[in-house]
Amino acid sequence: MGQTRANAPRPLTVVIQPQIGHHRGAWDSIGANQEISSVFQRSWWLERVSKSTTYLLVLDGDRLVGGLAVSVRRRFGVRRLTAPGPTVLCPDHLDLIAEPGAEAEVAAAVGAWFRGPGQRVLDLRGVDDDSLIARAVGVAAAPMDVAPYQSLPAAPDTYLAGRSSNFRRSVRRATRSLAALGIEHRRVEAADLPGAFDAFRSLHAGREGRGPLVAELPTLERALVAGVAAGEARVDVLASNDQVVAVCFAFVLGGRLSLYQVARSLEREHDGAGNVLLVAVIEDAVAAGCHEVDLLRGGEGYKSSFADATRPIGRLRAAHGGVARVLLAGEDAARRLNARLRSRVP
């Protein structure tokens, strides 16, 4: 726990840096102590998904007390701040990080910087409800999606017992069928990650809508390798000795399991493989002490089999400066027009 600002003699300052430098340890320590710790704000993720991550460091002297990682581009003299990395990687639970007890002052410092000299547009997708960054810029995030989640029991074998009877029967039946084919759950060790990545790519190949994700797999793979080495990412498979029928990418941070991506075989004999793998990963995480599973952004129907509650996920758009406000208003108008045109297509 970091000390609060109550007795700090100096005002907080915001420093912009292209690397996190010697603040890396403090950054990750503060990030791990957030109410919802986001793996997408870990230094190992940020350094692998983008070569142009910029850090807004909130400092008390030289001591880090909070900050925000963004990607910065310029257009018409306006700095555009977005989440680092490709949009298709869908980072969630984004927010300012702040030392416990210093949240209000960190938000105030970043807000003062945002409203300072210069033209800026902030466009963050994947922002939590009631976020510090929204407080800083004085704009509420617009609802964008939901992130289903579920508190986990203390015993691994009681998770499935708490789900619906139809889901329990389906998973148990599929588990038996796959076991008869020699297919079982395995957690992938670091040395075997390339094979799991190849299987993930093959399982997604040719499937509708998967092209953008497949195109960014080299970036995601670099991040996952670093995450596994840090003990905060895991890759699991359902496989026999000669075939992988499902692959799961997940993260574990602050006692929360975040299920990120899953690929599965569509062959009839592998029916239910995705559900079997996800249940196995969840039960394994319970055994390791996780208290919550988070299925991240997306309200797809299948997620209701795994989780009963949801958190809102929003998109935060704010502008400072006349040109910046005009750009943001123009983008919003164009998006509304495109939505209306799409709705008219038969």
pLDDT above 70 for 6 = no
**Lowest-pLDDT range of 59-63, 121-125, 185-189, 340-344:** 340-344
pLDDT above 50 for 21 = yes
Give pLDDT tens digits for 119-158: 999 999 999 988 999 999 999 999 999 999 999 999 998 9
pLDDT above 80 for 9 = no
Identify the band that residue 1 occupies on the pLDDT scale cut at 50, 70 and 90. very low
Distance separating alpha carbons of residues 334 and 266, to the nearest angstrom: 38
Half-sphere exposure of 218 (CA within 13 A, CB side): 2
Q: Which residues pair with 67 in a beta bridge?
A: 57, 97
The pairing of strands 142-151 and 97-98 is unpaired
Segment (H or E) for 233: strand 233-239
Which tokens hold the place of 74? 């310029």
* pLDDT reported for residue 237: 98
Average pLDDT, the chain: 93
Identify the band that residue 64 occupies on the pLDDT scale cut at 50, 70 and 90. very high
Contacts of 87 (CB under 8 A, 6+ apart): 125
Domains 13-145+312-344 and 153-290 share a fold: yes
pLDDT above 50 for 205 = yes
pLDDT above 50 for 236 = yes
Distance separating alpha carbons of residues 267 and 183, to the nearest angstrom: 14
Computed from CA positions of residues 273, 279, 281, 284, in that sequence, does the dihedral angle turn out positive or negative?
A: negative
CATH architecture of the domain with range 153-290: 3-Layer(aba) Sandwich (3.40)
Name the CA dihedral angle for 174, 283, 252, 218, rounded to a multiple of 10 degrees.
-20
Give pLDDT tens digits for 252-261: 999 999 999 9
Look at the chain and count its residues.
Answer: 346
Identify the band that residue 2 occupies on the pLDDT scale cut at 50, 70 and 90. very low
* pLDDT reported for residue 110: 97
* pLDDT reported for residue 4: 45
Distance separating alpha carbons of residues 109 and 96, to the nearest angstrom: 11
Where is pLDDT greater, at 5 or 245?
245
Residue 89 is given by DSSP the state G
Segment (H or E) for 310: strand 309-320
13-145+312-344 CATH: 3.40.630
Q: Is the distance from CB of 315 to CB of 141 less than 8 angstroms?
A: yes
| For residues 51-79, average pLDDT | 94
* pLDDT reported for residue 7: 53
Distances (CA, A) of 82 to 20, 31, 42, 55, 317: 17, 19, 16, 12, 10
* pLDDT reported for residue 273: 97
Distance separating alpha carbons of residues 18 and 52, to the nearest angstrom: 7
* pLDDT reported for residue 5: 46
Domain boundaries, the chain: 13-145+312-344, 153-290
Identify the band that residue 345 occupies on the pLDDT scale cut at 50, 70 and 90. low
Give pLDDT tens digits for 282-297: 999 999 999 999 999 9
pTM: 0.91
* pLDDT reported for residue 75: 85
pLDDT above 70 for 334 = yes
